Chains A and B, each alone.
Chain A
Amino acid sequence: MDSFFVRYRNLLVLLIVLVAQIVGLAVQVRRTGGGRNSLDSRDGSGVRLVRLWADELVTPPEQLFHNSKLGIANLWQNYLNLRHVREQNQDLEKTIDRLRLEQAQLLEDARQGQRLQALLSFQEKYVYKTVVAQAIGSSGNDQSRLFYIDKGSADGLDRDMAVISADGIVGKVREVFPHTAQVLAINDQTSGAGVILETTRIRGILRGNAAGQPQIVGILADQRIQPGEKVITAGGDQIFPRGLAVGVVEKVVRDPDRDSFIDVIVKPAAQLDRLDEVLVITSTLPRFSDEQQQDMAISEDEKGAEAKAIEEQKKASEIMAERLPGLTDPNAKTATPATGAAPGTATAEPGQPPATPAAPKLLHPQHPDRFMPGAADGAAPAEEKPKPRQQAPAPAVKGKQPASKTESTPAAPKTGSKPATPKAGSKSTDPVHPRRNP
């Protein structure tokens, strides 16, 4: 038995290591509702710990390289410069070398200043709270469009925060460590962002393809989509605010898996392979300047005062409505003698509110026509009405009483409206103003 283990110990070790890793892989993958497998977007605690170790090991040297600017490119450039200078005078060598280094440093500073200035101006006009971060490294894998930034949870970063640049969206924060964070770029195959085509208003999901190009997938073939059309964020993914620039349509290709669908290849607005400084949106609540906040406070005060004034006006109108006579159907009054007496009581004490404001009165227009309420009625009731009214209110002629008088006359146009209004409506037989009659 011992000889078996000794003889095949290499293979046994290989099998154990492989099986352990495959079991670990199986734990990380889960089956989704659609029958397909996917990785859990949130790592388990064990997986996250491994990633944290890797991050802690790799990012300090990366930051060191980045901060000290001792990149291989710089070393190579300096080396070439040095060789070139060696061919020249020994005295000039040091001076030229120093000047070139200074110039390169200044140029780099100037470029960085310009970039930061552009970023700052973008940040100022932007209404969300952002944190400026610097890209320091990548995942090192061509199947993974993921990079690291030098800000982490200590700076207020959290998972699923949007990462943008002055040109357009860049990606989202995937994992956060104390002082660094992973950012999943929009051209990664596992990323996803809700986008909309600006002109055609076609919505879709943006993700990367194998070549590292962002593409909008799952769109039905549409002839309207043309290269050059702008693509912006749709805002429905709860990560990117709406309306941010994504890029422009580069070309439209057929979906290899589904015939009726197309993939829209997008040229990203942000230079995803040349990122230095990026903005992380830490809060989607609007951020206003002091002046804007003052304006808003004033506006709120004015709004309150206005509401108060409206309330007072409302109260006053209610009081007035109680005191003033209202509208009513004149037919309803004439129907009963009690109501017929009401005008009499009203005329008895002009200016006083009626004791029983039961029946609001309908104010009669000076020139009634056939469209008046009750105009379609027969002439007979109209002729009946004026009689008591013309008699009863006769003594009271002041104030509102003419109105109460005239309220009895609407019947007149009813009668004369059709056959007699133009002709019989002459001065001799004015039904509205009977006292004007000769």
Chain B
Amino acid sequence: MAVLGADYRREIEIHRFPLLVYVLVPLAALVLQAWLPWVLRGYTWFDLPLVITVYFSLTRRNPIQGTMLGAGLGLFEDALTQHAIGVNGVAKTVAGFLAASVGVRIDVDNHTIRLMLIFLLSLLCSGIFVFIDRILLGLELDWSWVAELMKAVGNTLIATVLFPLLDRVQIKD
């Protein structure tokens, strides 16, 4: 029975990366997230920190690590804007936790499932963002579902390319 349990699956399917990858990839995601929209002249329909959070949460399968990674990257993103610090933090904390929790129960090597997951988590993040801004904080924020949908699609497209690339830098047993 233990062979079919979640703990056992997690033990055998945890992916590990060099320490430098853990440091550089999130940092690069943050820098590129701030720099690429400027180069691409306002195209902001992607969220690289979210993609990285979901990827590491799925592969590491540790909800605490996913929570902390999502919180850290989200807070960092907030710090680069004029918004309250914590809106993206909460959204990505939840995304990291859910990705890691779901990752225990699904086959993370299946690329299609990972893409579906990133698409759904992107929409969830947008929903949490709007919920916190408009309901919890009571701020006036206009938003459109089309833009959020486009962002989810953009994240999925990036994940299509990025996930296989990151898979290659895993430490093979």
Contacts and interface: CB of A to CB of B under 8 A. Distances in A.
A293 interface: no
B76 to A, nearest CB: 6
B144 A58 contact: no
A175 B37 CA distance: 20
Interface stretch (B13-21, B110-118, B131-139, B164-172): B131-139
Nearest to B45: A142
Given A18-B90, A37-B138, A143-B83, A50 B75 contact: yes
A188 B42 CA distance: 13
Given A21-B93, A37-B139, A140 B86 contact: no
A54 B26 CA distance: 13
Residue with the greatest number of chain B CB neighbours at <10 A, chosen from A184, A189, A212: A189
Interface residues of B, number: 51
B97 A10 contact: yes
B3 to A, nearest CB: 22
A122 B113 CA distance: 56
A21 B75 contact: yes
B62 to A, nearest CB: 8
A358 B94 CA distance: 100
Interface in A5-62: 9-10, 13-14, 17-18, 21-22, 24-25, 28-29, 36-39, 47, 50-51, 53-55, 57-58, 61-62
B82 A47 contact: no
Nearest to B63: A10
B36 to A, nearest CB: 8
B141 A62 contact: no
B161 interface: no
Interface in A211-238: 211-212
A21 B70 CA distance: 12
Contact of B33 (A47, A140, A184): A140
Given A14-B97, A17-B93, A25 B77 contact: no
B79 interface: yes
B79 A17 contact: no
Interface of B is mostly: helix
A426 interface: no
Nearest to B84: A28
Interface residues of A, number: 57
B142 interface: yes
Nearest to A174: B82
B27 A21 contact: no
Contact of A21 (B42, B90, B142): B90
A239 to B, nearest CB: 15
A256 B82 CA distance: 26
Nearest to B151: A142
Contacts of A21: 71, 75, 86, 89-90, 93
Given A10-B101, A137-B34, A189-B142, A144 B81 contact: yes
A337 to B, nearest CB: 90
Given A9-B64, A39-B139, A72-B39, A25 B132 contact: yes
Contacts of B44: 138, 140-142
B82 A184 contact: yes
Contacts of A142: 44-45, 147, 151
Given A17-B93, A138-B38, A189-B140, A54 B80 contact: yes
A415 B87 CA distance: 99
Contacts of B84: 25, 28-29, 39
A394 B33 CA distance: 109
Contacts of A381: none
Interface in A160-192: 174-175, 182, 184, 188-190
A59 B77 CA distance: 13
Contacts of A273: 41-42
Residue with the greatest number of chain A CB neighbours at <10 A, chosen from B36, B80, B97, B141: B80
A10 B10 CA distance: 15
Contacts of A53: 79
B93 A212 contact: no
Contacts of A140: 30, 33-37, 44, 77, 80
A196 interface: no
Given A10-B67, A13-B63, A17-B68, 20 more contacts: A10-B101, A13-B64, A18-B94, A25-B85, A29-B137, A37-B137, A38-B139, A51-B85, A53-B79, A54-B79, A58-B31, A62-B35, A136-B38, A139-B81, A141-B77, A142-B147, A175-B82, A210-B142, A210-B144, A272-B42
22 contacts: A10-B97, A13-B68, A25-B84, A25-B86, A25-B87, A25-B132, A28-B86, A29-B84, A39-B83, A47-B85, A57-B76, A61-B31, A62-B34, A138-B35, A138-B44, A139-B82, A142-B151, A144-B82, A175-B82, A189-B142, A210-B144, A211-B147
The 6 closest A-B pairs by CB, nearest first: A54-B79, A210-B142, A144-B81, A273-B42, A140-B33, A37-B138
